[in-house]
């Protein structure tokens, strides 16, 4: 029993267990997500089959649900401004903590948000399809 509690034996065993958990945990998470997604899809198909057997119309939303992106992430403008704010916060955090070599991470996030803002600005200035040339050339 003393051999199992010895430091020279216990430390490598604990290290191997931590390594095994670190490798298996992501696989377990992926399996759980895929399992419940498959279960949800099976319930959806059973519902569609039930409606079809009864001769009832299948709602379009049931077959082609609205994008989950719309409800979760907010508008593209909101996401872009959030990225700029998070990037600025990271820059200030790393600068105040004296980790100047990590400021680039915050600048990268901030630049991604700024690029999204520029893309939104360009998209809004683009004329709508079918618009006349005179309507497209308007002064702000």
pLDDT for 51-108, tens place per residue? Answer: 989 998 888 888 877 765 555 667 899 999 999 999 999 999 999 999 999 999 999 9
DSSP assignment of 73-94: H--HHHHHHHHHHHHHHHHHHH
Q: What residue spans define the domains of the chain?
A: 1-65, 69-122
Rounded to the nearest 10 degrees, the angle between the axes of helix 76-96 and helix 103-125 is 160
Q: What is the band of 126 on the pLDDT scale with cuts at 50, 70, 90?
A: confident
In degrees to the nearest 10, what's the CA dihedral of 106, 112, 84, 123?
170
- The pLDDT assigned to 65 comes to 74
Tell me the pTM: 0.47
- The pLDDT assigned to 129 comes to 76
Instruction: Give the model confidence (pLDDT) of 5-20 as tens digits.
Output: 777 888 888 889 999 9
Q: What is the rounded CA–CA span in Å between residue 88 and residue 113?
A: 10
In degrees to the nearest 10, what's the CA dihedral of 54, 55, 56, 60?
120
| CB-side neighbour CA atoms (13 Å) of 71 | 4
Is 109:90 a contact under the CB 8 Å cutoff? yes
Q: Is the predicted pLDDT of residue 135 greater than 60, yes or no?
A: no
């Amino acid at each position: 029993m003393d051999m199992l509690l010895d430091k020279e034996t216990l430390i490598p065993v604990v290290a191997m267990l931590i390594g095994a958990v670190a490798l298996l945990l992501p696989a377990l998470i992926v399996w759980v997500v895929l399992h419940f997604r498959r279960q949800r899809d099976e319930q959806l198909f059973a519902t569609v089959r039930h409606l079809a057997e009864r001769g009832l119309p299948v709602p379009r939303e049931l077959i082609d649900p609205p994008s989950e992106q719309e409800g979760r992430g907010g508008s593209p403008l909101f996401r872009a401004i959030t990225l700029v704010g998070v990037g600025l916060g990271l820059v200030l955090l790393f600068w105040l903590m004296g980790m100047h070599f990590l400021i680039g991470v915050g600048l990268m996030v901030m630049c991604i948000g700024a690029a999204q803002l520029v893309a939104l600005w360009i998209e809004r200035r683009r004329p709508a399809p079918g618009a006349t040339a005179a309507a497209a050339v308007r002064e702000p």
